[in-house]
Amino acid sequence: MLGDLIGEGGMGTVFKGWLYYNPQGPRAGTRPHPVAIKVLHPLLIARQYIRQLFVGEAIALRRLSHPNIVRFFELVEPPGQLALVLELVEGDSLDKVIGRQISRAQKGGALPGLPFARAWHYFEQLLGALAATHELGIVHRDVKPANVLIRTDGLCKLTDFGIARLPADVARRSGGMQPGTGAYMAPEQVLGRDLDGRSDLYSAAIVLYEMITGRTPFDDETRSELMVRAAQVEEVVPPVTLYLPQAPPVLDLLFARALAKEPSHRFANAVELGNAFRTALGLPVTTGWQAQQAFAKHATGIVAQVTPEPSGQAPMEPAPLPEQKVSTRGRTQPIPIPHAESLRAAVAGAYRS
């Protein structure tokens, strides 16, 4: 059931809605609950290949059901439309959280960005979501603060998986400018080259940079979108200590590698990136970070399960993984359902305030 308008963007319109379960299905008696319904822009569904591009990843993410990823319930296709039924997150997007901190700093007496402990709390969850999805060969393509939702209990949710892939394919076919937000795009994305998990990690590192400095490294009010994209390819990242003098100098070295122009010069995966920052800064190994690594290790085994779908419908066929894959170090055989649920509970419980 479609409800009030929540927001609009280049990809489509988001409404609040309610999900009702089939009274004759396996979840009969389950109470209706609120959801977010993203109706994709008509221009994105004008070609038949759009559905094929998106559906495989959507089903895989539904089966993964990572606590730090907005849950996907259904893909709905009314005549001439394509809509995604998603978890409704009560809270704020990370860009609004950062914006409020910047406003406080401009009034004087506050850090330019978030306190590091709070920024790391959010960043660790973002890395956990990317670690698991990269194990499946899924690349987000649009990691930025506006796509990180923070619940009122402190749990972060990464949203809009795969949607950036749709116009990217159109741009590649038409010779147009690559879609995305220049301030967070990896150099290879600006140049229209193939992407992998390291492209997402470049964007994630910029999110952390912005959280602690209150600004992105290559953007300012004097630059156009094209100038920012050019800077991603050509300029060296400004030291964090330039904007936050009290920061340890090792942060400059860490960001220099995380934001290297060549993917081969960056951290290889999300766990390696997180461990490098944690070790260099003397941060403790939290129960949350341990849970994130365990979840990522078993991501392929979780997706391989054949279980009743959340909508109460019959189980769907196992989702094919995307053609472009990163190294999969985890198990490929299904793991027991109770084990998967315990992994999810460990991640979610570690970050709720």
Q: Could you tell me if residue 274 is inside a domain?
A: yes
Asked whether residue 3 is domain-assigned, the answer is no
Residue 103 maps to a domain: yes
**Beta strand extents in the chain (DSSP E only):** 2-9, 12-19, 33-40, 72-76, 83-87, 91-93, 148-151, 156-158
Q: State the average pLDDT over residues 119-125.
A: 98
Sign of the torsion angle spanned by Cα atoms 335, 338, 339, 340: positive
Residue 226 inside a domain? The answer is: yes
Looking at residue 31, what is its pLDDT?
83
pLDDT at 313: 41
**Structural domain includes residue 250:** yes
Mention every residue, 6+ apart, whose C-beta is less than 8 A from residue 160: 11, 140, 142, 147
Strand, helix or coil for residue 347: helix
Mean pLDDT of 230-240: 97
Pick from 150, 78, 68: nearest CA to 114: 150
Beta strands 72-76; 91-93: pairing state: unpaired
Instruction: Catalogue the active-site residues.
Output: 142
**Which has the minimum average pLDDT: 47-51, 54-58, 193-197, 234-238?**
47-51
CATH number of the domain where residue 152 is located: 1.10.510.10
Strand order in the sheet with 156-158: 91-93, 148-151, 156-158
Residue type, 292: Q
How does pLDDT run across 288-319, given as a tens digit for each residue?
Answer: 999 999 999 999 999 887 544 444 443 333 33
CA distances to 266, 272, 283, 348 from 275, in Å: 13, 5, 9, 20
In whole angstroms, give the CA distance from residue 269 to residue 62: 22
The per-residue pLDDT for 322 is 39
pLDDT for 56: 65
Which pTM was predicted?
Answer: 0.87
Compute the mean pLDDT over every residue in the chain, rounded to the nearest whole number. Answer: 85
| Contact criterion met (CB below 8 Å) for 280 and 321 | no
Minimum mean pLDDT range among 81-90, 250-259, 261-270: 81-90
175 assigned to some structural domain: yes
Q: Is 94 helix (H, G, I), strand (E, B) or coil?
A: helix
Residue 131 has pLDDT above 70, yes or no: yes
User: Averaged over 72-87, what is the pLDDT?
Assistant: 82
Of 92-96, 105-109, 117-121, 228-232, the one with minimum mean pLDDT is 105-109
Looking at residue 72, its pLDDT comes to: 86
User: Domain for residue 328, yes or no?
Assistant: no
pLDDT of residue 119: 98
**What's the confidence (pLDDT) of residue 20?**
84
Whether 86 contacts 70, CB under 8 Å? yes
**286 or 3: whose pLDDT is higher?**
286
| 146-155, 164-173, 264-273, range with the lowest pLDDT | 164-173
Dihedral through CA 328, CA 205, CA 198, CA 236, nearest 10?
Answer: -160
Q: Is a pLDDT exceeding 90 seen at residue 75? A: no
In a domain, 70, yes or no: no
Count of domains for the chain: 1
Cα separation of 264 and 198, whole Å?
8
User: Which whole number is the average pLDDT over 143-159?
Assistant: 95
Residue 280 belongs to what domain range?
91-293
| Length of the chain (residues) | 353
Q: pLDDT: is 162 or 65 the higher one?
A: 65
